[in-house]
Structure 1
Amino acid sequence: MMEPLLKEASIIRSVRRGTAEVDLLQESSSNDGNAKSKPLHHKAPTTPKEALDVLRQEPDYDSLISVLNFLSRHETDGSPFIKLPGPLSAQLVQVLVAEIVPNYWALLVEDAHQSKASGLRLLLYCLSSSTGMNAITVKLRSLMQDAKSEAAAGTKRPDLSLNLGIMLDLLCRVLRGDGWLLEAYRLATAGQEPPAKVKPKVQAIVGQFGGGRIVSMAAEAEDILSKNPSSKSVDNIWPASSLEYSQWLGRNIVKVVVSDQTPDAVKFASDLLAKALHLGHFEMLVRQIVSEMVLKPAAEPRKFGLLMSNLPQSEQRKVLYSILKLLSSDYLDRLGRCESAESGPRIAAVAGVLHEILQSDQNGRRDLVDWLAAFSGAGLGEGVGIRRAVVAVVSQNRDDLVTVLERSLGQFGDQLYIKHSPTLQQEAHAQVLLLVAGYVHRKTPIKLAMLLRSSTWLNAISNRLAAPHQRARFLGMVVGEALSGLADKGEKRLNFKMEETDEEEGRWYKGLTNVSDDIGPFAALLSPSTDIPRASREAPRKPATRRPAPQPPEKGFIIEELSDEEGPEEDDLVPYAKPDSDPEDSEDDATLVRRDKPKAPVYIRDLIKYFRDVDNYDRQKLALTTAPTLIRRKADYGTEVAEHAEELATILVGLSDKFEMENFDELRAQGMIALIVAQPEKMGKWFAKTFFDGDYSISQRASILVVLGLSARELAGYETSEYAAAAAFPSKTLPERVEQLYLGSSNSHSQKQSSSLKPLPPNALDSIATSLTSDFLAPMAASAADAVTGPDVLKLSTFTSRLNNDGRDETSAAANPKIKYKSQPAKAKPRVRAIPNTTAQLLATSFFTPLTARFQAALHASSSSSRGSKTILFHPYLLALYLKTLAVVIHAAGPGTLSLPQTTAELWRLLLSTSVRAAAVGDLAVTQAVLFAYVALLDVNEDRMRDVCAELGREVVEAQEWVAGVFGGLRGGDESGEEEKVKVLAAGVLVRLREGVEKYRLMLVGDLIGFG
């Protein structure tokens, strides 16, 4: 009676239980001999409906593999059934994601390491579709909501973090592959459906993958997972990184266009690109697509032109301008002024790339015309090479060439443009004007002659010569002489007979009218090595002289009598000190003693190798400690530093403290300072460009600003680094005893003191600002303390004593603010520098001007990447540090700078810009930085305040009103004391501004009513 019951129980439970329980029951029933020990397996399904039923009944592993095999092979109308949208396929995908993946994921992943044709591959294939991605994102969103609700309730479910990690791992694995979106597009357009049904499917794919939904969801899930200490971490969740996801999108877009050039496919790829451009990595995405579709052997730039032509007009312009920037930075920046023999073919190759991309795109050619003649165009801060290449492309159409000439000439002579545009911008437009004038003269000389007889030309030269800034007048003179030399003959030629126009720079500008570039093949850009051969290499080394072979010692003893006349010299022979014991050699276990310690690098290329070995602590530490001294030592010997400066600077800026080294930030900053001091003209501009264009964090950008400020101080002679003395070769120093004979004890002592100065810390700009502010306020504080009837706000001894004493004795100073300055009068500020400021012009052109010009360009930029940089730039801490850097640089240049009127006007107008003043509202750090910048301006212009009021009358009055508003809006008395410091600083600036306004009131009133 019991046997039938046992048999039926085993049969019924075999369907609902797992394989382990089935085997157990079968083994118990096989003892009676009526049944054989035989595992039960489901047969392979023949229809999708059967496959769905098997999946819902919790199949064993072998049954699951058979189902996945069937689903991956079953097709409908030539397409995989599981990937086609439909109700049955959606149910299958939902069961796979919601039930199969959580239960079998660990087993599938383990099996994937043992077999290539594993179940994991079959599962990923079945889920690699839009339907699969929808199911995964829905499951992820559900798990994240459950995790948030549990975190709010204070309960914990360990299965949530486990399933969340599984879903993130599944998402990363499903999205891998460069042909993912191409297959999704082909599946959406497969069949004979009308366009009205196909278009929504394609747009759904664009919206799902082109935007940032997947990135934001993956990042949020990763954040939730990281906050749970008991959860198992998932390695490399790359969809959570917008950078890696943008790269994945770029590769998929390239795959679509390369594989299918039908209008609908190209439109699909263009829509994806338009969406992807707003993910925050605009320039990186454009670089990736251009490098794979244009700058690659056997590439077809025409396909990239098709991709661009389907973009919206605004996005098309942004992509084109980004391509120009890419070509300039990667291929043309190292050409300098393009005077080498290699510049012609390289510029022709870049022109060929642009010509191929825009061959059938008239909108793109109009964008090139706008780029050349627009107010903020022509490649601010870029080399002249990209302008030559663009002009070569535009010159293919004579009407476009004449349009650029007329617009450039009108803008070049505009008074507002001369007064308010940055110097770098005016130089770029002057180069465009000269280049285009040469082309027009060669094609239609009568057109240039007529233009030089017009009122536009006469007004341009007149306005330029009447400009208050020396650089603006110089550009007007060189343009006038160059264009007149093309159209006029004999004595009619314009010649100002100035030394500036006949020097090297003036001759170079005037020579641009003779430049003519062709559109050539761009094979030179496709070569593996894109480095430009340099004309100057290291000097050939002299052949080493062979030393004579040492003679064997003679046998026996040799007795030599030494005279006592060399006694004084023997005193100079200092015996070697006993070497200290190596702590590593004191190990008891000999196997623990290291004998492979790296040696200090002696060449710049070795230093770079050490920095790139990021996994070796010893090399990283040795490179950081050696870099400041080695760079300074190699600066004037050979071309090592000049050739590797940019590469080394890129490494230092992006270097991270992986090993948490002591003094890491200071050593890294000192390495960058050494690079700037070694190559100030080149590296000052490079660091200014990197600050605005580089993809760096706020801390890395801040370090660039600090380095620029400290380097400017060192170049101007305000600071001396101990690394400068350590880098001096021994052959350049005399023995201490001989040095005392020539220099004397006092000079030697002072020399030793100056060379032993400690390097400034990386945050030294704040201390420099505090010191300069104290020097600025000290005379006014003394006058206010002496004037008993003066307003209390001008009694600034409390603030200056706090600055000098670092907050000590604040109570006593506040109790009696007059005593200190009556007994100790303010020190007179020295008017003559101890070290001549021979680098003033260098600081103005290579430090100050690039920073201010690129700041204004970032304000007017319209691309998404520039908007992102603008958002970072107006971070309160970064903006305050930027303004302090400008103030430190202009103060380091000093009052003897020839371009001081121009730099003063640029910084003054920048401080009064709407963006800066809006950022200062409610932020004490930015407000204090703006006031400190005014302190620096008023300090260096102390002896030319009359000229400042004459040139910047409106700006002076506006600044006075703004500072008065700041002073009136601050109450002071806060616990930290910061608001009181800012109020006192505003009072000092306001006093100096009012002194200038009162003294030159008539001049300011005349300027304000228009006849000054």
Structure 2
Amino acid sequence: MERLLRQASIVRPTKRETDIHLLQQSGSEVEKRTSNSLQHKTPTTPGEALDILRQEPDYESLISVLNFLSRYETDGLPFIKLPGPLSAQLVQVLVAEIVPNYWALLVEGADEGENSGLKLLLYCLSSSTGMNAVIATLSSLMQDVKVEAATGTKRPDLSLNLGILLDLLCRVLQGDGWLLEAYRMATSGDGSLARVKPKVQAIVGQFGSGRVVSIAAEAEDLLKKSPSSKSVDSIWLASLLQYSQWLGRNIVKVALSDSAPDAAKFASDLLSKALHLGHFEVLVKQLVSDLVLRPATNPEKFGLLLRNLPQTEQRKVLYTVLKLLSADYLDRLGRCVSEESGLRISSAAGVLQKILDSNQNGRRDLVEWLTAASGAGLGESIGIRRAVMAIVSQERDDLVTVLEKSLSQFGDQLYIKHSPMLQQEAHVQVLLLAAGYTHRKAPIKLAMLLRTSTWLNAISNRLAAPHQRARFLGMVVGEALSAIVDKGDKRLNFKMEETDEEEGRWYKGLTNIMDEIQPFAPLLDLNTNTPRGTQKARQKPVTRPAPQSPQTGFIIEELSDDEGPEEDDIVPYAKPDSDPEDSDDDATLVRRNKPKAPVYIRDLIKYFRDTESYDHQKLALTTAPTLIRRKAGYGTEVAEHAEELATLLVGLSDKFEMDNFDELRVQGMIAIVVAKPENMGQWFAKTFFDGDYSISQRASVLVVLGLSARELAGYETSEYKAAAAFPSKTLPEGVEQLYLGGNASKTQSSPLKPLPPNALDNIATSLTSSFLTPMAASAADAATGPDALKLSTFTSRLNNEEQHENSSIANPKIKYKTHSAKAKPRIRTIPNTTAHLLATSFFAPLTARFQAALHASTSSFSSSSSRSSRTILFHPYLLALYLKTLALVLHAAGPSTLALPQMTAELWRLLLSTSVRAAAVGDLAVTQAVLFAFVALLDANEDRMRDVCAELGREVVEAQEWVAGVFGGLRGGDETGEEDRVKVLAAGVLVRLREGVEKYRLLLMGDLIGFG
């Protein structure tokens, strides 16, 4: 037993002993060994190639091995890409041993052409086997990096190899035909279906699920956190947006391939899997752009992709196509009254026709899109609804179904009461378009429908609606449909000015529209043009030669005066002021070619696009507010480039850490909204919900909408407004002082100072104070006893009467008027045009899209953008800011707007929605925002509280109960004082609500029955 367990020792020679041993060898043996090491090895079989790779070959031998592997084929197919045991060993050796040792040399020689070592290596690894090997090695390295961070050990080789493999992964997947090649290799050979199907499903699961993106993103994050790594450039594979675009291009290649069997089914499986990724709208846009809206393509391939998808996913993709067509081609047409609009709508209908030729279920989806409670393109222009109606009108049964469902929905009382007005307007447009098509194809059907109780109840319910806009839509529909069916005196005519104005005539003219389906060549021309927002290559400035004076034939000579110049007659120029840049010690750092401020909108856009130049970015930011306001009323520059400018400003990042960057950026966006409020208010509201932006960028959009609404209403005056005025509209400074004198400063309104990060919060605090101060004063007076026993009140009344008598003697025209403690200053009347603008372009898009986001989780065919916007929207900070923005817009519209009842109802019900109240639980910021919104509602409806109790009786009582619960649940006394402020605000809202309930108790009695 002891012999079995005795210690064994290994004797290794030292380096000096090895050197002595080599010196003792004969010279011929050394020369032979050296010649063998220098000889390049060229394999003839894959087995020899594997042996050479395992023996640490030199660079030349590696290139010869890679050349052999890239050219060696089996049955006409590349051996290295076919799945097998020997090819898997070769790939593993290349990834684990060759890449870490030779990557630097391979990258340096990447410019040698098609036979460069890097391109040969990437070709050998461009297969499913290569991808699996790279991902497995990358995952192993990531685990080692995590262990290194946990234990505190330092291994610089880990971060180096991690960066190399991440770069290798991005380079291997680069290309649009990668998935097609992988599919061909998986389905090639004599393998049976049982062997081929698992390989194909593995490719679908690996690339459709986004596993590659998650691994690349995690590796990039570990690489950035590693202390031994250098700065890491952005990895395209770690971006889900760029990966979705790459996946879309690869699916297009697979769909267009006719050589691979069942390639369309493989493409549909990939698309079905990829639809669950975050940016599926980007994926669908890539497919539509490459398969449909490009010359020499086959749109039927896109329809074939849809046909192989499940029914719910077909509907999802089709609705996304409608949204893309509307956003890219039809939204800018507005109400579509020009001939160009009709041509583009017909082209969009042609696109839909080609897509639906091989998908008959799509027509039913279009009918459902037109008639769904949350469908018909919420917030989009009428162009997409006209294009869809052109498709649906081809089938008589589908057309009649749309008409009947639209009419039934139009007269539903719950729909009239609870649906956003923006949604009702879209459905009214569908109803009028369907009625026009039905009258031309089946006039008897329309005439019979207008004799039914459904039609009579619809008009009656509309006319009985409490909101002015709902009644207007009812009158327009009644007059329009009666005009095409009835004759003579039987025609319905309400004789209202509203229905005879421009908007009313436009609505009634929708029954005469009949769009035809035409080839979509005009859309192809628009798609091939350079899209807006793409950055063109910056050209170097052309150096112009200095202008030379023309040769006149005269010779000018300088004559010298012997007596010398008369110094008294020559006045020297004053010494110029010193330039701050001239004070630099290094003369090479002094810049003489500084860029000039832009004077045209196109120059401003060019500066914004130049994200690498600090001077251009700084000049663009400082010049944008003034330049946009100055150009707004002169020419069409701002109108043509407003959306492009807004897109650049919303997505602009502070790359150079400029001072007041956020303030200047917000002021630029405010200038755009103030310049074109009708269009840009809706654009910013749509961008807030649909755009791919961060929380801070979405918050800036809300700030812009809130401050722009207040400026349009006259509550704020920007300092850039005066700076943007042309000199012809202002007096010189000296003349202005002469005429205005000391009153100049008094007559001018206070400018809007640079915006702090909490600009809306400061305005909300100011409005809250003005709301609570009268109630606090009234409560203090009530606590000190009756007014008749107060000496201070009697003295102040006596002083007020004496001052009034003196003023009435001096000016007999002044009438005596007593102000109580609760009296407020006179409310400034806002023009109806401004109030209507704020209601339609600011408030309605925000509330309607919010309700669409609320229904996104319950709807089976909602888009991923709606779901993602719902997730982002219910972030506590963003939700609180959103509610404050709505409240400020409503307060800016003021009590003079005709749409105030509709706005009040929408905001009140939104605040009492289950999602908002659930978000307010445990979050003081959201609770405070909800209470502030109630403050704005009560303040704007102070003179019409009776109407509010009559229209929203149940909601008023429910709000009272909720605010009472909030007030009772807050203890106060926290360190920050936030709970105390929220509790005071809740107390003020509760007092006002209880006053209304007590005053109109009898009116509320009907709604209180059954309330629990």
The TM-score with structure 2 as length reference comes to: 0.87
**Residue 531 (structure 1) shift:** 8.7
Name the aligned partner's letter for residue 626 of structure 1.
T
Distance change in 2, residues 1:940/1:503 (3 Å): same
Distance change in 2, residues 1:361/1:836 (3 Å): closer
After superposition, give the CA deviation of every residue in 1:143-187 in whole Å (9 maximum; x if it has no partner): 111111221122222221111111111111111111000011111
SS in 1 for 2:717: coil
Are 1:198 and 2:196 an aligned pair? yes
**Residue 103 (structure 1) shift:** 2.1
SS in 1 for 2:262: helix
Are 1:333 and 2:331 an aligned pair? yes
Rounded Cα–Cα distance in structure 1 between residues aligned with 2:602 and 2:832: 33
After superposition, give the CA deviation of every residue in 1:341-372 in whole Å (9 maximum; x if it has no partner): 21111111000000000012111111111111
Rounded Cα–Cα distance in structure 1 between residues aligned with 2:684 and 2:420: 18
2:902 corresponds in structure 1 to 902
Distance change in 2, residues 1:313/1:29 (3 Å): farther
1:748 corresponds in structure 2 to 744
After superposition, give the CA deviation of every residue in 1:801-828 in whole Å (9 maximum; x if it has no partner): xxxxxxxxxxxxxxxxxxxxxxx99674
Distance change in 2, residues 1:115/1:245 (3 Å): same
**Residue 92 (structure 1) shift:** 2.0
**Residue 909 (structure 1) shift:** 0.6
Of the three residues 657, 660, 664, the one matched with 1:660 is 657
Task: List aligned pairs for 1:303-702, cutoff 5 A.
Answer: 303-528=301-526, 580-587=577-584, 589-702=586-699
Distance change in 2, residues 1:154/1:591 (3 Å): closer
Task: List aligned pairs for 1:166-315, cutoff 5 A.
Answer: 166-260=164-258, 264-315=262-313
**Residue 585 (structure 1) shift:** 3.1
After superposition, give the CA deviation of every residue in 1:478-520 in whole Å (9 maximum; x if it has no partner): 1011111111111111111111111111111000000010000
Rounded Cα–Cα distance in structure 2 between residues aligned with 1:454 and 1:825: 57
Task: List aligned pairs for 1:47-196, cutoff 5 A.
Answer: 47-196=45-194
Q: Is the 1:722–1:759 contact (alpha carbons within 8 Å) kept by the matching residues of 2?
A: no
Q: Is the 2:347–2:521 contact (alpha carbons within 8 Å) kept by the matching residues of 1?
A: yes
Rounded Cα–Cα distance in structure 2 between residues aligned with 1:138 and 1:288: 30
Distance change in 2, residues 1:863/1:37 (3 Å): closer
Rounded Cα–Cα distance in structure 2 between residues aligned with 1:65 and 1:629: 62
Q: Is the 1:72–1:125 contact (alpha carbons within 8 Å) kept by the matching residues of 2?
A: yes
1:554 corresponds in structure 2 to none
Q: Is the 2:325–2:348 contact (alpha carbons within 8 Å) kept by the matching residues of 1?
A: yes
The TM-score with structure 1 as length reference comes to: 0.87
Rounded Cα–Cα distance in structure 1 between residues aligned with 2:753 and 2:25: 86
Name the aligned partner's letter for residue 874 of structure 1.
F
Structure 1 gaps of 5+ residues are 1-12, 534-575, 791-823
**Residue 878 (structure 1) shift:** 0.8
Name the aligned partner's letter for residue 649 of structure 1.
A
Q: Is the 1:669–1:762 contact (alpha carbons within 8 Å) kept by the matching residues of 2?
A: no
After superposition, give the CA deviation of every residue in 1:311-356 in whole Å (9 maximum; x if it has no partner): 1211111111111111111111121111112111111100000000
Rounded Cα–Cα distance in structure 1 between residues aligned with 2:711 and 2:575: 38
**Residue 458 (structure 1) shift:** 0.8
Rounded Cα–Cα distance in structure 1 between residues aligned with 2:656 and 2:921: 40
Are 1:848 and 2:846 an aligned pair? no
Distance change in 2, residues 1:27/1:246 (3 Å): farther
1:955 corresponds in structure 2 to 955
SS in 1 for 2:153: coil
Rounded Cα–Cα distance in structure 2 between residues aligned with 1:84 and 1:460: 68
Rounded Cα–Cα distance in structure 2 between residues aligned with 1:37 and 1:577: 83
Rounded Cα–Cα distance in structure 2 between residues aligned with 1:703 and 1:989: 28
SS in 2 for 1:342: helix
Name the aligned partner's letter for residue 986 of structure 1.
A
Rounded Cα–Cα distance in structure 2 between residues aligned with 1:173 and 1:89: 20
Distance change in 2, residues 1:86/1:234 (3 Å): farther
Name the aligned partner's letter for residue 139 of structure 2.
R
Name the aligned partner's letter for residue 865 of structure 2.
S
Name the aligned partner's letter for residue 602 of structure 1.
V
**Residue 736 (structure 1) shift:** 4.9
Q: Is the 2:125–2:131 contact (alpha carbons within 8 Å) kept by the matching residues of 1?
A: yes
Distance change in 2, residues 1:37/1:702 (3 Å): closer
After superposition, give the CA deviation of every residue in 1:946-993 in whole Å (9 maximum; x if it has no partner): 110100011111111111121222222221111221122111111111
**Residue 883 (structure 1) shift:** 0.4
Rounded Cα–Cα distance in structure 2 between residues aligned with 1:166 and 1:34: 37
Name the aligned partner's letter for residue 784 of structure 1.
A
Rounded Cα–Cα distance in structure 1 between residues aligned with 2:775 and 2:234: 60
1:820 corresponds in structure 2 to none
Q: Is the 1:706–1:762 contact (alpha carbons within 8 Å) kept by the matching residues of 2?
A: no
2:973 corresponds in structure 1 to 973
Are 1:913 and 2:913 an aligned pair? yes
SS in 2 for 1:656: coil
1:876 corresponds in structure 2 to 876
1:857 corresponds in structure 2 to 852
Name the aligned partner's letter for residue 775 of structure 1.
S
Rounded Cα–Cα distance in structure 1 between residues aligned with 2:758 and 2:264: 51
SS in 1 for 2:525: coil
**Residue 751 (structure 1) shift:** 2.7
Name the aligned partner's letter for residue 888 of structure 1.
L
Rounded Cα–Cα distance in structure 2 between residues aligned with 1:870 and 1:501: 37
Q: Is the 1:112–1:119 contact (alpha carbons within 8 Å) kept by the matching residues of 2?
A: yes
Identity among equivalent pairs (%): 81
Rounded Cα–Cα distance in structure 1 between residues aligned with 2:451 and 2:781: 65
**Residue 438 (structure 1) shift:** 0.4
**Residue 230 (structure 1) shift:** 1.3
2:780 corresponds in structure 1 to 785
Rounded Cα–Cα distance in structure 2 between residues aligned with 1:375 and 1:531: 37
**Residue 43 (structure 1) shift:** 4.0
After superposition, give the CA deviation of every residue in 1:22-69 in whole Å (9 maximum; x if it has no partner): 9x9799854689859624346433332333233223233333223222
Rounded Cα–Cα distance in structure 1 between residues aligned with 2:158 and 2:661: 40
**Residue 232 (structure 1) shift:** 3.7
SS in 2 for 1:839: helix
Rounded Cα–Cα distance in structure 1 between residues aligned with 2:147 and 2:393: 65
1:542 corresponds in structure 2 to none
SS in 1 for 2:399: helix
**Residue 896 (structure 1) shift:** 0.9
Q: Is the 1:331–1:530 contact (alpha carbons within 8 Å) kept by the matching residues of 2?
A: no
After superposition, give the CA deviation of every residue in 1:263-287 in whole Å (9 maximum; x if it has no partner): 7211111111122222211221111
After superposition, give the CA deviation of every residue in 1:693-739 in whole Å (9 maximum; x if it has no partner): 11111111110100110011111111111111111111112245654
Q: Is the 1:430–1:479 contact (alpha carbons within 8 Å) kept by the matching residues of 2?
A: yes
Q: Is the 1:225–1:231 contact (alpha carbons within 8 Å) kept by the matching residues of 2?
A: yes
Distance change in 2, residues 1:299/1:81 (3 Å): same
**Residue 755 (structure 1) shift:** 5.7
Rounded Cα–Cα distance in structure 2 between residues aligned with 1:511 and 1:321: 27
After superposition, give the CA deviation of every residue in 1:523-569 in whole Å (9 maximum; x if it has no partner): 00111578999xxxxxxxxxxxxxxxxxxxxxxxxxxxxxxxxxxxx
287-296 or 588-597, larger mean C-alpha shift: 588-597
Rounded Cα–Cα distance in structure 1 between residues aligned with 2:498 and 2:529: 34
Name the aligned partner's letter for residue 82 of structure 2.
L
Q: Is the 2:690–2:865 contact (alpha carbons within 8 Å) kept by the matching residues of 1?
A: no
2:797 corresponds in structure 1 to none
726-735 or 952-961, larger mean C-alpha shift: 726-735
